Structure 1
């Protein structure tokens, strides 16, 4: 059984191994995706707690009300951040898997959507970690998004080269 730490290392350092992990169980892959979701959620919640995402509106009554219900606001915010991160990351992986299937067809490689979904789930590691890092460094989210898309597509291309070729007729 492959450990999550090995998946992280291979996702970051050995992109060609991503194709081999297409045979992982879906449960292990989903566990890995939830590990990435946890990283994003914890970072987002830390931003929320420290007030980095605070808006510039200054409503005296509203700020007093928020101070009164903080004990309720924090758990609700954590659940909402977790739910939002989960939905967005699963959608991202699914879109990348679709792009990966197109890459497989163009490169005349054999593979199915389910295989490419597992590969895409591992390929988003760099873009997820870079998004958090670039957010800490206060770099534009547009730059972060474009860089993440490029890196993930490159990783999918590298992984696709290791998928088996379609035999010629």
Structure 2
């Protein structure tokens, strides 16, 4: 059975998942990589979209709407006495030479880049990264320099997006293998509850396919940009139930009674 047919059957059939326990470990590992790639597709799409839109918005805003500024000796100075926030729908640009706006304020933004008094903060998808100007010794950056940097990043999109995507895939793959391994260990308890005799290596193969349904569900939710409350617990609950149902599909060993 090819990997795509296995994928389809793993969505709804614990009985088929039980039969996959006999296949080679190499094919199962390939399946985990396949599921991982599928799960990060929405993130890669939003990364590409955000990068493209963010670069264009940033260039336009810096050129036309942001006052002149200079970053020198670890501090920001600008031709304004008040913080400036420019909202571009899903993306915001903040310039604050006064020190009023904090990193916590930037974190409240969905997607934003903020030039603060002593640091630059970048918020994206609920995560924030902050870099102090003092870390970049000898930094002397003006508005014109910043526009030039944005143009350079724009020209490197074809490299940046694949590199970040590969990094996301590698990290997500490691997490997926850990998740499958933990689920297989839980399977050792489930097999006792079901009264079945099955080794860990077979449970690992079954666990790899038991994560299919929740992976598909959360991938769809991610594609729709929809937050699922208690997603961690829902994910594990569904995986455990599917693995348990698959274990129950394994025939019990026949016992012989000597006369």
- The two structures, once aligned, show a CA RMSD in angstroms of 2.6
Structure 2 partner of 1:27: 26
**Alignment check: 8 A CA contact 1:104 1:111 kept:** yes
Relative to structure 1, the CA distance from residue 81 to residue 137 in structure 2 (aligned partners, 3 Å threshold; closer, same or farther) is: same
Task: Measure, in 1, the Cα distance between the counterparts of 2:196 and 2:112.
Answer: 52
Structure 2 partner of 1:5: 4
How far has the Cα of 1:14 moved from its partner? 1.3
Once superposed, which parts of structure 1, at least 4 consecutive aligned residues long, lie more than 6 Å away?
none
Gaps of 5+ in 1: none
Structure 2 partner of 1:49: 48
Of structures 1 and 2, the one scoring higher in RCO (CA 8 A, sep 6+) is 1
Residue 99 in structure 1 maps to residue 190 in structure 2: no
TM-score (norm 1): 0.85
Relative to structure 1, the CA distance from residue 20 to residue 87 in structure 2 (aligned partners, 3 Å threshold; closer, same or farther) is: same
TM-score (norm 2): 0.58
Task: Measure, in 1, the Cα distance between the counterparts of 2:170 and 2:228.
Answer: 21
Higher strand share: 2
Task: Measure, in 2, the Cα distance between the counterparts of 1:142 and 1:26.
Answer: 34
- Indicate which of 198, 219, 237 corresponds to 1:132: 219
**Alignment check: 8 A CA contact 2:42 2:223 kept:** no
Task: Measure, in 2, the Cα distance between the counterparts of 1:166 and 1:98.
Answer: 21
Bigger-Rg structure (1/2) = 2
Task: Measure, in 2, the Cα distance between the counterparts of 1:70 and 1:87.
Answer: 26
Aligned length: 168
Offset from partner CA, 1:59-89 (integer Å, 9 cap, x none): 4849726446434322220211111111111
Offset from partner CA, 1:72-131 (integer Å, 9 cap, x none): 322220211111111111111111111111111232210111101100100111111111
Q: Secondary structure at the match of 1:29?
A: helix
**Alignment check: 8 A CA contact 2:42 2:222 kept:** no
Gaps of 5+ in 2: 51-89, 92-109, 116-142
